[in-house]
Amino acid sequence: MNQSIKVLSNLVKSSNTSRSLINAGSRRSVLFKTLNTNNTVRNFSTKQSKIDKDDEKTFDYTDKLVVQKLETYIPCYTIMNQDGIVSKPEQDPNFSQEVVTKMYKTMVLLNTMDSILYDVQRQGRISFYMTSFGEEAIHIGSASALDMGDTIFAQYRETGVFLWRGFTVDDIVNQCCTNDLDDGKGRQMPMHFGSKKINLQTISSPLTTQLPQAVGSSYAQKLAGEKNCTIVYFGEGAASEGDFHAAMNFAATLSTPTIFFCRNNKWAISTPSKEQYKGDGIAGRGPNGYGIRTIRVDGNDIWAVHNVTKLARKIAVEEQVPVLIEAMTYRVGHHSTSDDSSRYRTVEEINYWKETKNPINRLKNYMVRKNWWTEDQEKAIVAESRQLVRESLMKAEKRKKPALSEIFNDVYSELTPNLIEQQKELEEHLKLYPDEYPIDQYAK
């Protein structure tokens, strides 16, 4: 392992001639072109000749000494009640029976998969899992309002968004079982998905880092002149990190097509939202704090979430500005398989949300009202979902584990001498102890 100096010099050399630099060069000229034609991008070098008196236009001067307090709270947009009745018919997105059925089935599939994989973790067959119980309407309501060209940055409790975009149960199960079909090559914990196919940037564990990154991603979209946006999902707990504030301020000042989607599920592990922040929640920070257009929405009402996300996307893409959405919901499950939430909250509280505000039942009631759904169909799709997940698990568990070479691949764009040396060391070690490593169970 005393190759470090050689490795370093090698890295420097290779980066001088690397493809990425050449690409960066040609990309830069594209950027400059856009910079010149697009006057919404700030030109930092322009001197201003007139005196800036904007302040005087935005607020009044007064001789009354008043200490401002929080008085008006941002209302929460909701259009469908628990019985599935839409209060104003013109607000019903009016999807066809086929589309609504697909939405409902995806919610049930997510819920069923969560139950099974949670139990599978309890049996020790996977190391970790996180359920989305209670947040299904957020996932499907928002995902159905997006374009496949939009980029997703997620936290970890957004699995339904991925399902809607074509990530399959197999994709999820293979990742959780970390077999040779795991697209992430066995490098990440369960639930930390990433997928080019569905335009999902790989989920990263340190909270809230995805927010400024999403702003960077949408800035790139803006410069490239794309008609797409980046949506970034995060919890109300994560919104306490400094990165939240940095992201909001940059999105506002750079004027980027970013949708900030906060899932306010009232808990961050054991910390209730009332201890996480004061003031008017996450939404309250948007308009006055950062000059960002903001909507608060009932996260258990799939149509409300859909309408809000659709509007936010329209604003973001057409006007090239960020929008903040705060979806009010409840984390019905434990934080993760490492948590026991009965230690810090009551069963009554959980049941209140599970029974009286259940987002899946709400959509089901809507369908029943339209005569689109029967109990037989319900039984059939639950059974179908179970079977799908079980079969997927059976297949996934029989697969080989990732190849040992995956330890060394992708640390850099190519294998460096130091990595090759380590790989050789490992191979020699394996030859020395053939009985201790079941290499036949690893992919080649």
Smaller CB distance to another protein: residue 77 or 244?
A: 244
Burial class (CB in 10 A: 0-12, 13-18, 19+), 132: buried
Binding to ligand TPP by CB under 6 A, coded x per residue (else -) over 184-213, reads ---------------------xxx------
Query: Rounded to an integer, what distance in angstroms lies between the CA atom of residue 175 and that of residue 140?
Result: 21
Binding to another protein by CB under 8 A, coded x per residue (else -) over 140-179, reads --------------------------------------x-
Question: Among all chains, which residue has been given the structure tokens 């900030």?
Answer: 260
Q: Does 12 participate in binding another protein (rule CB under 8 A)?
A: no
| Closest by Cα among 315, 295, 293 to 305 | 295
What's the closest the beta carbon of residue 1 comes to another protein, in angstroms?
A: 5
On whether the CB atoms of residues 103 and 109 are closer than 8 A, the answer is no
Tokens coding 354: 């599970």
For residue 134, what are the CA distances in angstroms to 94, 139, 230, 231, 307? 23, 10, 24, 21, 19
Which range binds Mg ion by CB under 5 A, 232-240, 245-253, 349-357, 387-395? 232-240
Q: Does 328 participate in binding Mg ion (rule CB under 5 A)?
A: no
Among 25, 89, 124, 206, binds another protein (CB under 8 A): 206
Query: Rounded to an integer, what distance in angstroms lies between the CA atom of residue 171 and that of residue 183?
Result: 8
Among 91, 115, 213, 240, binds another protein (CB under 8 A): 240
> Which residues, 327 to 356, sit near ligand TPP by CB under 6 A?
331, 335
- Between helix 210-223 and helix 19-37 the angle, nearest 10°, is 70
On whether the CB atoms of residues 127 and 191 are closer than 8 A, the answer is no
Q: Does 249 participate in binding another protein (rule CB under 8 A)?
A: no
Task: Give the total residue count for the chain.
Answer: 444
Smaller CB distance to another protein: residue 110 or 176?
A: 176
Residue 339: how many other CB atoms lie within 10 Å: 15
On whether the CB atoms of residues 221 and 230 are closer than 8 A, the answer is yes
Q: Does 256 participate in binding Mg ion (rule CB under 5 A)?
A: no
On whether the CB atoms of residues 314 and 295 are closer than 8 A, the answer is no
Tokens coding 252: 């506002």
On whether the CB atoms of residues 239 and 246 are closer than 8 A, the answer is no
**Binding partner of residue 157 among ligand TPP, another protein, Mg ion, none, CB cut-off 5 to 8 Å per kind:** ligand TPP
Binding to ligand TPP by CB under 6 A, coded x per residue (else -) over 362-401, reads ----------------------------------------
Kindly determine how many residues on this chain lie close enough to bind Mg ion according to the rule CB under 5 A: 5
On whether the CB atoms of residues 230 and 153 are closer than 8 A, the answer is yes
**Binding partner of residue 343 among ligand TPP, Mg ion, another protein, none, CB cut-off 5 to 8 Å per kind:** another protein
Among 146, 223, 238, 302, binds another protein (CB under 8 A): 238
Query: Rounded to an integer, what distance in angstroms lies between the CA atom of residue 23 and that of residue 101?
Result: 45
Binding to another protein by CB under 8 A, coded x per residue (else -) over 113-132, reads --------------xx----
**Binding partner of residue 216 among Mg ion, another protein, ligand TPP, none, CB cut-off 5 to 8 Å per kind:** none
On whether the CB atoms of residues 248 and 260 are closer than 8 A, the answer is yes
Query: Where do contacts with another protein occur on this chain (CB under 8 A)?
Result: 1, 4, 127-128, 178, 182, 186-189, 192, 204-208, 237-238, 240-242, 268-271, 275-277, 343-344, 401-402, 404, 406-408, 411, 418-419, 422, 426, 433, 437, 441-442
Query: Where do contacts with Mg ion occur on this chain (CB under 5 A)?
Result: 235-237, 265, 268
Query: Where do contacts with ligand TPP occur on this chain (CB under 6 A)?
Result: 157, 205-207, 235-238, 263, 265, 267-269, 331, 335
